[in-house]
Amino acid sequence: MNSTVRSSGAISRNRETAAGVGEFGMRFTSTPRGARLARRLASHQLDEWGYPYDGEINESVTAIVGELVANAVRHGHVPGRDFALRMTAFRAAEAPGAPDASRFRVEVSDMRGERMPTVGPSVTAATSATSATSAGSAVGAGVADVWCGEALAEAGRGLLIVGRLADGWGVVPRPGGPGKTVWAEYVAAATRIAAH
């Protein structure tokens, strides 16, 4: 299924190949309403790809989307500029001889390049659980690495949740312009796939 939807000047791309690879991308207004819409459409797209609303995969990936888009609205907002969501699903073997797994990649881009998420308060933890790629991406692997807030704070747990649910996450400069892209990957093992 290939389709392009235009609404309010935003472009949505929705593609799926015969091999089961899916991609969804859309721009949203950088408002709480835009964040809610992004989360709902991501959940709906996962359901269309065969991952039901009440399944673990849909709930986990939707929670990751929700946290990343909420951060884009709260910390990456630039007046008059949108944020972009891109969600990709594909089948990949984790290792030779291992059962197939579904891998989901969520990318949220905003226009604030100077406000990057922190990947760790502890140099020791950050060094052991974080690596840098040639593109300058910080990659987070552990929950403790993203916790910088106070224990009783009402906010500041979004990346903690992402770090707990995702198999990896990171930040890279936004390609083709100012800003940043925060990404997260979720791998659903074959046992989770069979359950849906």
pTM, 2 dp:
0.72
Residue 34 has pLDDT above 80, yes or no: yes
Residue 124 counted as domain residue: no
Query: Residue 190: what pLDDT?
Result: 58
How big is the CA angle at 70 (ends 69 and 72), to the nearest 5 degrees? 60
**DSSP assignment letter at 54:** T
Tell which wins on pLDDT, 183 or 145: 183
At 90, the pLDDT band (50, 70, 90 cuts) reads confident
- Expressed as residue numbers, the domain containing 25 is 2-116+152-195
- 9, burial (CB in 10 Å: exposed 0-12, middle 13-18, buried 19+): exposed
Residue 173 has pLDDT above 50, yes or no: yes
SS3 of 57, please?
Answer: helix
What the block records as the tokens of 194 is 């069979």
Closest CA to 182 of 100, 84, 96: 84
Mean pLDDT (whole number) for 50-77? 93
Q: Give the containing element (helix H, strand E) for 131.
A: strand 131-132
Residue 136 counted as domain residue: no
What the block records as the tokens of 59 is 């709930």
Query: Residue 195: what pLDDT?
Result: 52
CB–CB of 30/61 below 8 Å? no
Residue 50 counted as domain residue: yes
Quote the CA–CA distance of 79 and 16 in Å, as a whole number.
Answer: 34
Closest CA to 173 of 183, 161, 159, 163: 183
Residue 84 counted as domain residue: yes
What the block records as the tokens of 33 is 């309403």
CATH number, domain containing residue 174: 3.30.565.10
Residue 48 counted as domain residue: yes
Residue 187 counted as domain residue: yes
Closest CA to 182 of 171, 190, 173, 174: 171
Quote the CA–CA distance of 122 and 109 in Å, as a whole number.
Answer: 26
Closest CA to 92 of 84, 83, 100, 81: 100
Residue 182 counted as domain residue: yes
Mean pLDDT (whole number) for 27-45? 96
At 176, the pLDDT band (50, 70, 90 cuts) reads confident
Domain count, the chain: 1
At 142, the pLDDT band (50, 70, 90 cuts) reads very low
Site of tokens 């269309």: 48
Query: Residue 15: what pLDDT?
Result: 56
Residue 180 counted as domain residue: yes
Mean pLDDT (whole number) for 162-169? 93
Q: Enumerate long-range contacts of 167-170, CB under 8 Å, 24 or more apart.
A: 168/139, 168/140, 168/141, 169/139, 169/140, 170/119, 170/133, 170/137, 170/138, 170/139, 170/140
